[in-house]
Amino acid sequence: MNSSIDNSTIENELKKLVSDMGNLAEKSQDNIFDVLLILRELELLHRNIREKMLEPNLPDTRHRLYLLLKHIEEVGGWPYIERMRVKDICQQLLSEEKS
């Protein structure tokens, strides 16, 4: 759980990247295929970070597990990328047809 870069540096870099991704998504908002591409790339990035960097570093002792759970409780929940379900898309289309 040691980090080689201090948290403020990571936060600043992340804020810039998030801003850049938000700007790219905003520029692409009229093209659903580009928006889907952005979401797919974010999902792939999430999966790669989870599998290659998070999972290998998961706690191997009760004490480290306690520290991780305490951090999650204090700072924020477990990261999750929600997917829109096809059922939700169909319901949206049906509700628009009724309008």
Return per-residue pLDDT of the chain as tens, 99 residues: 445 678 889 999 999 999 999 999 999 999 999 999 999 999 999 999 999 999 999 999 999 999 999 999 998 888 888 887 888 888 888 887 777
In a domain, 1, yes or no: no
In a domain, 47, yes or no: yes
Return the SS3 of 83: coil
Instruction: Give the structural domain span for 28.
Output: 7-98
The total number of structural domains that make up the chain: 1
Q: Report pLDDT for 40.
A: 95
Q: Report pLDDT for 12.
A: 95
In a domain, 22, yes or no: yes
**CA 84 to CA 89: how far, in whole Å?**
8
pTM: 0.74
**CA 18 to CA 40: how far, in whole Å?**
15
Q: Report pLDDT for 1.
A: 47
In a domain, 68, yes or no: yes
